[in-house]
Amino acid sequence: MRGSKLKSKIIVGVLSASLVTSLLPSYSFAQTSYERNKVAYEQGDDCNKCEPLSQESYNNLVEKFGEPVNVQDTDNGFKIGMEIAKSDLEEKAIITESGLIKNFYTSATEAGVSEEAFNSFESSIGQLNELVQKGEISFGNSLLDFNLPKTNLSTSINQLDIQSAATPRGSVYKFNNDQAIKLQKMIAGGAAIAAIAAYFGIPAVAAAALSTLAAGAGICNWNGRGFIFLYMGPGIFTCTPL
């Protein structure tokens, strides 16, 4: 299994405290909790004291975004995700001059993978190219080198702009402890966006943001009970432990 070569940039949206408090209280809590708990975890403190999402904050989150989606965890999803991760589909994907992604291979047979894995990878390419065209993600020399744009809501001109920038896309996901461990193992084993999206059944953009957290500052499974992952738009994402 190839080693992790992910070069994602950890860029989380910069939000003014007053705007976050009024628009996204659940994000405000989650991001503050994330930063505080990460420090405690890295310093070797007892992480049973890492602050989980409170019932009040959880209720706020549900009110704003609906119940978090329990990500899939199926044998078939794992098989497809690991097949993509073990192949060179992600490594050999071509980044064109326009910044779009093109599959190096033209068929599953040529790539040495199953039709299901090949089609899943093609689906991720399609999703990612749409995001590239919208300016929500960009790539360097390969699919493993990506950048999520920084969003600064405090520079928005008016309330409408702010609300538009902060509008969630139903991307609030719940990972249990086993799924969090599998996610970490997948990334350590070389899995990138397409493999993660295939395994957990989540959109490519959510997989990209998760990859950024995991490869950079780390996901929030500090209590060994899983975590909630919030993706609210370009560059606005975080997680909080359960």
Domain assignments of the chain as residue spans, ordered by start = 17-241
User: Nearest 5°: CA angle at 228, between 205 and 48?
Assistant: 140
pLDDT above 60 (res 134): yes
Task: Give pLDDT, residue 35.
Answer: 52
Task: Give pLDDT, residue 155.
Answer: 35
Q: Which of 27-36, 41-50, 144-153 has the highest mean pLDDT?
A: 144-153
Q: Is 104 exposed, middle or buried (0-12, 13-18, 19+ CB in 10 A)?
A: middle
Question: Residue 56: left (phi > 0), alpha (psi -120 to 50), or beta?
Answer: alpha
Distance, in Å, from the CA atom of 172 to the CA atom of 239, rounded to the nearest integer, reads 9
Write the CB contacts of 161 (distance below 8 Å, at least 6 apart in sequence). Answer: none
> Which tens digits make up the pLDDT trace of 34-64?
455 454 445 544 444 456 677 787 787 777 7
Task: Give pLDDT, residue 42.
Answer: 52
Average pLDDT value for residue range 117-127 = 94
Q: What is the reported pTM?
A: 0.69
- Tokens 């699919």 sit at which residue? 143
Distance, in Å, from the CA atom of 210 to the CA atom of 183, rounded to the nearest integer, reads 9
Average pLDDT value for residue range 75-80 = 84
Per-residue confidence band for 11, with pLDDT thresholds at 50, 70 and 90: very low
Task: Give pLDDT, residue 146.
Answer: 85
More confident: 181 or 159 = 181
Are 211 and 6 in contact by the 8 Å Cβ rule? The answer is yes
pLDDT above 90 (res 166): no
Are 82 and 108 in contact by the 8 Å Cβ rule? The answer is no
Are 221 and 17 in contact by the 8 Å Cβ rule? The answer is no
Average pLDDT value for residue range 217-221 = 76
Q: What DSSP state is assigned to residue 53? A: P
In this structure, of 44-58, 182-196, 206-220, the range with the lowest mean pLDDT score is: 44-58
Per-residue confidence band for 20, with pLDDT thresholds at 50, 70 and 90: very low
Task: Give pLDDT, residue 218.
Answer: 72
- Tokens 């950079």 sit at which residue? 216
pLDDT above 90 (res 169): no
Pick from 85, 202, 73: which is nearest to 143 by CA? 85
pLDDT above 90 (res 98): yes
Task: Give pLDDT, residue 162.
Answer: 33
Percent of all residues in the chain with a pLDDT value above 70, rounded to a whole number: 68
Are 236 and 13 in contact by the 8 Å Cβ rule? The answer is yes
Task: Give pLDDT, residue 1.
Answer: 42
Q: Three-state SS for 96?
A: coil
pLDDT above 60 (res 23): no
In this structure, of 40-44, 77-81, 110-114, 140-144, the range with the lowest mean pLDDT score is: 40-44
